[in-house]
Amino acid sequence: MLSINYLKRTKFLKARLPIIQIAFIILLLCSAVSAGLRCQLCGRDISGTYFKSTSGEVYCESCWKSHSVCSQCGKLVLSTIAVNGANLCRDCYARMERCSLCGEPLVGNYTQYLKLGLKVCSKCEREKPRCQKCSVPMNEAIKIGDIVLCQRCAEKTERCHCCGEPLLSNYTFFEGNQAAKYCDKCTARYPRCEDCGAPSGPYGTKLDDGRYLCPDCRRIAYFEPGMVTSIKQKVQSFINYNMGMTINHQFDFSLQGQDFIKRKAKDIHGDINGLFYRRGDDFSIYVLYGLREKDLIRVIAHEISHAWQAENCPKDMSLEDQEGFAQWVAYKALKYFNNDDFAALLTHGDDAYARGLSMMLDIESKGGPKAVFDAVRGDKQ
Ligand SMILES: [Zn+2]
Ligand SMILES: [Zn+2]
Ligand SMILES: [Zn+2]
Ligand SMILES: [Zn+2]
Ligand SMILES: [Zn+2]
Ligand SMILES: [Zn+2]
Ligand SMILES: [Zn+2]
């Protein structure tokens, strides 16, 4: 007897399903013949007009006029409970499914959110605030900034790695690290970390030479020359034994600030994180303090490669060949020491470093590492 029409609406959620219930219809029967009929409610014999419900109960006229009809089961009862425009007997009221939000019985139209297992009465559909992310009506709205979210969406929303605010629209991540996303506000507000490029944030560190580091990089950055020695040694032996590159000159190695390296690099091309500096037969390699291990591997391998070039390559090498080869050695060192993702970042961009590296990788893919060495040795081979 209960008719449910499923109508699909896709405006908010695919899983939202309005349901229309049509309640019992009372059949009214008038009859002059009443032999043997008793009123189901008062128990009196019926004479004259009587009323019969669709489920077969018969009632006398007096009971019919003084009692209420349950709009769900069609029975005549002493009193009904009014819910959402319907009048329900106690039994029906107790048995009805409830709205997931207000707890009232679901009478008439309601909406089902299948995925969430929610059934929402038409009143709540109309009146409750809606989550601005999933559009589902809710009892408790969580307000974040100007945005109102349901509990589920608020919990699921990723947060800015810097300020902790939910990331509702645009965000940025750095060095391909999707585990740390930054909101546009923080990205615009804070100076960038010189190591990873992310906003340094309220707990960032400003170094003596004016560089900023984010707390993540600061934690793993190297400042003591003694701590860098072992990294320098492992890169050097990778270059000697794995790459087969020997450098005959002794070279000084030191950690320096940005100002020092910039001053030394005047008129000499060099990447700002490190510098190979030559005066006659005096070779020096300067590397910035405050770098992470992977930065140190990259910079040390790069600068040692320039020292090797000074002994093995023609002086008129193009900038792209020069930097491309040094980046190629750095790339191979990073991969050797399990920094594949960081190595891959070296090919990004459109400067002499990235273009030169791509060129070297191309030569290597066709003729192996030997072809790269042949290419850069030029007439010195
Ligand atoms: Zn009666
Ligand atoms: Zn009922
Ligand atoms: Zn409700
Ligand atoms: Zn939501
Ligand atoms: Zn933020
Ligand atoms: Zn950083
Ligand atoms: Zn260089």
The domain limits of the chain are 3-127, 171-216, 225-380
For residue 183, how far is its CA from the centre of ligand 3 (angstroms)? 36
Interatomic CA distance for residues 217 and 220, integer angstroms: 5
C-beta atoms surrounding 303 within 10 Å? 28
Higher pLDDT, 39 or 222: 222
Higher pLDDT, 32 or 3: 32
* Residues of the chain above pLDDT 90, percent: 52
Are 70 and 105 a contacting pair, CB within 8 Å?
no
Question: CB pairs under 8 A, 24+ apart, for 92-98?
Answer: 96/72
For residue 165, how far is its CA from the centre of ligand 5 (angstroms)? 6
The single residue listed with the structure tokens 């920094």 is 339
pLDDT category of residue 209 using cuts at 50, 70 and 90:
very high
Q: What is residue 79's predicted lDDT score, i.e. its pLDDT?
A: 85
Residues 6 or more apart whose CB falls under 8 angstroms from that of 243 comprise 329, 332, 369
pLDDT category of residue 148 using cuts at 50, 70 and 90:
confident
Strands 81-83 and 58-60, bridge-based pairing = unpaired
Residue 228 — φ and ψ, nearest 5°?
Answer: -90, -20
Residue list, CB under 5 A from ion ligand 7: 323, 326
Q: What is residue 92's predicted lDDT score, i.e. its pLDDT?
A: 87
* Residues of the chain above pLDDT 70, percent: 89
**Cα torsion 59, 60, 62, 64: sign:** positive
C-beta atoms surrounding 111 within 10 Å? 22
Average pLDDT over residues 305-320: 92
Interatomic CA distance for residues 66 and 188, integer angstroms: 74
Closest ligand to the CA of 122: 3
For residue 36, how far is its CA from the centre of ligand 1 (angstroms)? 14
For residue 127, how far is its CA from the centre of ligand 3 (angstroms)? 9
Cα 323 to its chain centre, rounded Å, is 36
For residue 128, how far is its CA from the centre of ligand 2 (angstroms)? 28
For residue 167, how far is its CA from the centre of ligand 6 (angstroms)? 20
pLDDT category of residue 284 using cuts at 50, 70 and 90:
very high
Residue 66 identity (one-letter amino acid): S
For residue 159, how far is its CA from the centre of ligand 5 (angstroms)? 8
Answer whether residue 339 shows pLDDT above 90: yes
Average pLDDT over residues 301-327: 93
The least confident of 24-28, 40-44, 154-158, 175-179 is 24-28
Longest dimension (CA), the chain: 130
- Which tokens hold the place of 136? 């589902």
Is the pTM higher than 0.75? The answer reads no
Residues 6 or more apart whose CB falls under 8 angstroms from that of 205 comprise 212, 213, 215, 218
Answer whether residue 364 shows pLDDT above 70: yes
Strands 118-121 and 110-113, bridge-based pairing = antiparallel
Closest ligand to the CA of 68: 2
Q: What is residue 288's predicted lDDT score, i.e. its pLDDT?
A: 95
Q: What is residue 29's predicted lDDT score, i.e. its pLDDT?
A: 53
